[in-house]
Structure 1
Amino acid sequence: MSATADHAEERTNPAARLGFQPEQVVQEIGYDDDVDQELREAIEALIGGELADEEYDDVADSVMLWFRDDDGDLTDALVDASQLVEDGQPVWLLTPKTGRDGYIEPSEINEAAQTAGLAQTKSINAGKDWTGSRLVTPKGAKSKR
C-alpha cells in the first residue's frame, strides 16, 4: 500500500486513526450498549481478533476506556487503566461528545489525566457520539509492578 493510501485509510477508518495494528491486544473497559459498535468492529477487523474484556489478566498493547460522566471517578478509572499497559502505550479514553448524555468537560478530562500521571497526546472524532483522547504514561514514569 502506498503512503497516500495509508493516509487515506487513516482518515476514513476510525480504528486506523486510533493507531491500532494487527495482532495487538486491545483491552476494552466500560462497555455498555451505548458504545460505538462500528468502531469496535473496525478495531477487531484491524487487530484480527476480539477485544479483550475487563477480565483479561495480562498486559495489553492498548486500553479502550469508554467513560461517561456518571461512571464514577475518572481519575481512578484512568489510574486503573494505565496499570493495564506498559509505559508509553496508549489508553484511549472514549467519552460522549458535547450535548450527549454522559458528556465530560475537556478541562475535567485534562485534570483527571494529569492527576493520574498521563499526558494527552491526541484527540479524535471516534464515532457519531464519541470523542477519543489518547493518553500515555511517559516511559519510566510508573513504578515497576
Structure 2
Amino acid sequence: MIFIVLSIMTLCYFALASWQDLKERMLYTAPILFLHILWSIYLVVMTDWENSFLCSFWLVHLIIYVVLNDFGVWGDGDSDLFLLMGNLCLVASKAVSTGVLVFRECFFLMLGLLAAIGIGVIEANWKKKKLKVTYEIAVAPGMAVAGTILILQGFLEVMK
C-alpha cells in the first residue's frame, strides 16, 4: 500500500512538473526533495537493500548532484530529478551488483534525456520554433517517462 501511495504521489508530481517545465522551463524542487526523502525511507524500511549500500549510494548521488549544480550542467530542478531517479532505480530493482545497478541507472537517465529531446523536437515543431539544445529542452517530461517505467517495474517487483 505504501508503494502505491508513493507511486501515485510521484506520478502526479511528474505530470505537474512536466507541464510546468514545458510551460515555464522551471521546476519547484521542494516536492522533488520531499518525494526523494519518502522514497529513501521506503527503501530503508521496505526493501532488501543493505543500509550501508544505501548510504554509499546516496553519498555518491549527493556528490554528483553538487557537481551538476556547481558546474551548471543542467537546471537545478533537473539535478533534483536526478536524485529522485536514483531512488526509483533502486525501487525497481532487487538487490543486484553495483555494476548492474550503475548500468540500469545510466540507461534510464539516457532514456529520460532522449525522451526529453524527442519531446523538445515535437514541442519546437508545434510552436514552429527552432530548437536550441543548449537551453530550451524541458528535461522533466523525459525524466517523467523514464521514472514512470521504473515505477511500473517496481510495481512488478512488489507484486512478486
TM-score (norm: length of structure 1): 0.24
Larger strand proportion of the pair: 1
Larger helix proportion of the pair: 2
